[in-house]
Amino acid sequence: MESVTLKVVLFGASFLTLLAIQRYLEYSRLVQLMRAPSHSTTLLSQRSMIGLLTARGIPGVTRGRYTSWLNKHRSYAEEGWDAAVHVNIWPLGASVSLVDAAAIKEVTSARARFPKPVKQYNTLSFFGENIVASEGEKWKRYRKITAPNFNDRNNKLIWDETIRIMLDLFNNVWGSQENVILDHTISITLPIALFVLSVAAFGQRISWKDDNTTPPNHRMTFKDALHEVSSNVMIKAFVPDWALGLTTHFRRIRLAYKELNTHMLEMIAQRRNAEKKEEREDILTNLLDASADDPTFTDEEVMGNIFVFLIAGHETTAHTLCFTFALLALYPDEQEKLFQHIKSILPDGRIPTYEEMPLFTQSMAVLNETLRMYTPGHAIPKYSAEDTRLTISNAAGDKHDLILPQGTPVVIDAVGLHYNPRYWKDPEEFKPARFLNPDWPRDAFFPFSAGPRACLGRKFFETEGTAVLTMMISRYKIEIKEEPQFASETFAEKSARVLASKPGITMTPLRVPLVFKRR
């Protein structure tokens, strides 16, 4: 019996040894084929369950969801190239991360060679197929219908409604308070972004003191459903449908998706069946108008595209504004520059108009610098559709051709790019003035992606962000909330605490305690 057991053990050990040798030979061939000047190796892919669940990663085992933010450009500097080849043993494969502006421009411009891995975005098709989770002819069809929605008339609507929402906050919520203390500033930036989206996307005005009466045949108001859906996309994406009934919180999320679906279908039916067409500039109306010539464009596709605009415009805007207010509180000299610039345009304190938006260059510079330092999307995935090569470079000007086998994942590392000293002097420092230089490195700025698949909502964000920032700074001075337990901390410690974040769909601020003092 012992000899049989020994034979089984020896056979198992021999089999595992042969498997290890075979995998090592395959690994070596892959590394040699790619001709990478350097590479890192982990046992598992970053897209493995451990990689997805681990924020920081496990050395030698897998990289984590937070790896690019923690490393910024440091790992590239250590390797000496503005591209990194990562090889995982199981399953055997390699991926390439880029922080080289020229290589990134080649990838985003050559859409046929480097398409988008749309399967990774299928989780965003809750309500229907959409422009984000599509490629090829379907993507062209969606873009033809959706792109005209982001026009000057819609941008003016965004500006005017953002001004109205800010005045509503100042007059009817903050009122006569000289000092408004917020334990976490996301408590105002999330509603601002939600209210703007509601009117710009759906034509539904929401105020700070809205009547929360649930309409007939509904269990949740449009406002509450919209908030729950846009705030809990990660849960809906990764928690199985059967598990959404396990907790009260999950059940509320499941109800919100059902309710928002019903609300949107009612809006679509109401506008399609209206005897008299109202003059509207919201995205839903424009989508319905644009799709009128395409009878195959279904209600589900309308809702699917509206939904991705909602996801792209809610948390991203709210979190960016929250980081912006925090940075201005930490850097009072930059805040004063912004205030004086706004004052030079509006010396009498009047309400700014949409036509004046191009004048607020300092506001836009502050927003761009925040986007550079806290870019909403860490990584933009592509892949090589064919065997191809890609030229990479380093700070010394050396160039090297990487060989990419068909199917190789290519990741544009926006964080590493935004902290690359080749393009941004003193990248760790908050310097809005860098965006006032007409020659600032546009190819190294990637918060909205680039190329044909660049974010359609860029002007949407810029319009809303400029209006919010200009209105807020013209009327309130922002400071860090003083708390006794942090009285002895250094500036570096204070910055790290106030700007602390966690990974999510976007960079999510943990707690930004600020005081808004009436000027």
Bridge-based pairing state of the strands 83-90 and 39-44 = parallel
Adjacent-strand bridge partners of 87? 41, 94
Bridge-based pairing state of the strands 399-404 and 409-413 = unpaired
CA angle 137, 138, 139 (to 5 degrees): 90
Positive/negative CA dihedral, 398, 399, 403, 407: positive
**Is the Cβ–Cβ distance between 457 and 117 less than 8 Å?**
no
3-state DSSP call for residue 325?
Answer: helix
Q: What is the residue whose two structure tokens read 């068909």?
A: 406
Q: Kindly give the interhelix angle for 186-202 and 222-231, rounded to the nearest 10 degrees.
A: 120
Contacts of 133 (CB under 8 A, 6+ apart): 118, 121, 122, 124, 125, 308
3-state DSSP call for residue 144?
Answer: helix
Going by C-alpha positions, the residue among 97, 143, 130 that lies closest to residue 390 is 97
Going by C-alpha positions, the residue among 352, 332, 366 that lies closest to residue 517 is 332
- The whole-angstrom separation of Cα 142 and Cα 313 is 18
DSSP conformational letter for 147: G
Single-letter amino acid, residue 350: R
- The whole-angstrom separation of Cα 153 and Cα 279 is 11
Greatest alpha-carbon span in the chain: 97
**Is the Cβ–Cβ distance between 205 and 503 less than 8 Å?**
no
Q: What is the residue whose two structure tokens read 């930490």?
A: 330
Single-letter amino acid, residue 264: M
DSSP conformational letter for 489: -
322 is in an annotated binding site: no
Q: Kindly give the interhelix angle for 248-273 and 222-231, rounded to the nearest 10 degrees.
A: 120
Q: What is the residue whose two structure tokens read 């406002």?
A: 223
Q: What is the residue whose two structure tokens read 């006032």?
A: 436
Going by C-alpha positions, the residue among 30, 57, 316 that lies closest to residue 196 is 316
3-state percent breakdown (helix, strand, coil) of the chain, nearest 5: 55, 10, 35
Q: How many secondary structure helices (H) and strands (E) does the chain include?
A: 19, 12
DSSP string, 363-426: HHHHHHHHHHHT-S-SEEEEE-SSSEEEEEE-TT--EEEEEE-TT-EEEEEHHHHHT-TTTSSS
Binding residues for heme: 455
Q: Which residues are annotated as a binding site?
A: 455
